[in-house]
Amino acid sequence: MALYDEVVNRLGKAHCIHNLGETALGQSEYPDARQGFEQAMVLYDQVSDHYRKADCIRKLREIADRMAE
């Protein structure tokens, strides 16, 4: 991710963080997954990627549902 910071590539960084969130979700590491999706959502909002921001919101809902079980 540091490389994305160096070249100021918010979209690339958002994708990277989102993928880390997906990995954490797949391993049932919900706090880490939530943190990743929340961080990615902020970056997607900054670059006006509404589709991927919505996906982060959906993933946060999925985490909440899984934690409530």
pLDDT single digits (tens) 14-37: 999 999 999 999 999 999 999 999
- Read off the CATH number of the domain in which 38 is found: 1.20.58
Burial of 15 (0-12, 13-18, 19+ CB in 10 A): middle
Q: How far apart are CA 48 and CA 36, in angstroms?
A: 18
Question: What domain range is 33 assigned to?
Answer: 2-68
When divided into structural domains, the chain yields a total of 1
Percent share of the chain, pLDDT over 70:
88
